[in-house]
Amino acid sequence: MRVFVTGGTGFIGHYVVKALLEKDHEVVIATRHPNKVPSLRSHSKVSFVEASLTDFDKMGDGLVGCDACIHIALGWGDTPSAMLMNDTRATVNLLEMAARAGCQKFIYTSSTAAMGRMRPSMREVTSNLPMDLYGATKAAGEAFVLGFRHGYGSQFPEVKMRRNIIRPGYTFGNPAFNDGCSQPDRRFFEMAQAVKENRDIHIIKNDGTQFIHASQQAQLYLNVLESDKNEDIYLGLGSVWISWKEIAEKMIALRPGCKSKIVESDMGWGDEPMLFDVQKIKDHFGLVFDAHEFMDDHIKWTFDHV
């Protein structure tokens, strides 16, 4: 399969590309930084479209001949209108261009932020109540991806392209390639730096999440791509909740004699975390992810690279 991937040199993106290549797919990467991961630049089954999300002509040309499109890249903005123009509009255009190019499948990367406020039962069918512009943008993208399903005039007399959505949660990991990148969030690195400097680590009491390793996230993308699913949403999360306190304790343990202490701010969060229900990826694909098997290695890697 020839797969068009936006953001394929980014963190989740380069893990997804690696997974695709390991299954012998051909990959076209759309990115502003084609030299960011030299290992991909030199790969025989990888080609590049150097473009931003709003370079619509380049994107359209790159999609020609592709069987599928995986949209991972994010367009950013500091205002509602900027987010609309840089991300939502770009997603809608990519959706149209992929269908016009004859892509059979389209996977949209949303986020758990689209769901917004935590409630007792967080599942794929839980209503979206975004709490910021990022979440609102992702929720809007989801609506267009799911809504593009019937015939629309002469341009799209019918819509054959299968469209699915993945909502990643906190995704972490070492680089997929030696010259790749780690997650953009800096909390792991900030903790490691504090330990090295014998400073206290400040966290919120009972803060944590259902961490998922990037290779596990990529496995979900591959399963969705190679399935016959259509108009489905999947939560890309681990099944096990891990606290930031546990991570901080592991950081401190790497340096015997460290004088750093963990300082917790009490925001009134309960001892029992609210969880996302990840039963659907188990039911559909047999996937159950526990990030613990990767966490120790990533903490040590972070400590060594800070």
pLDDT at 167: 98
> And the tokens for 171?
């995704």
- Closest to 242 measured CA to CA, from 200, 198, 294, 180: 294
Task: Using pLDDT thresholds of 50, 70 and 90, give the confidence band for residue 154.
Answer: confident
Task: Using pLDDT thresholds of 50, 70 and 90, give the confidence band for residue 36.
Answer: very high
> What is the bridge-based pairing of β-strands 46-50 and 162-168?
unpaired
- Chain segment 51-71, per-residue pLDDT in tens: 999 999 999 999 999 999 999
**pTM for the whole thing?**
0.96
Indicate the average pLDDT of the chain: 96
Average pLDDT over residues 227-233: 98
Distances (CA, A) of 240 to 2, 215, 232: 34, 16, 23
| Stretch (H or E) spanning 244 | helix 244-253
Q: Taking the CB of residue 3, how many other CB atoms lie within 10 A of it?
A: 25
Number of domains in the chain: 2
Cross-strand pairs, 30: 6, 49
Same-domain status, 23 and 115: yes
First to last CA, the chain: 38
Q: Is residue 263 part of a domain?
A: yes
For residue 53, the enclosing domain spans 2-170+214-236
Q: Is residue 282 part of a domain?
A: no
Task: Using pLDDT thresholds of 50, 70 and 90, give the confidence band for residue 198.
Answer: very high
Average pLDDT over residues 88-105: 96
Cross-strand pairs, 235: 167
pLDDT at 120: 87
CA angle 69–72–75, rounded 5-degree value = 120
Q: Which CATH number is 14's domain given?
A: 3.40.50.720
Same-domain status, 28 and 131: yes
Same-domain status, 200 and 115: no
Average pLDDT over residues 93-116: 97
3 state SS of 6: strand
Same-domain status, 60 and 135: yes
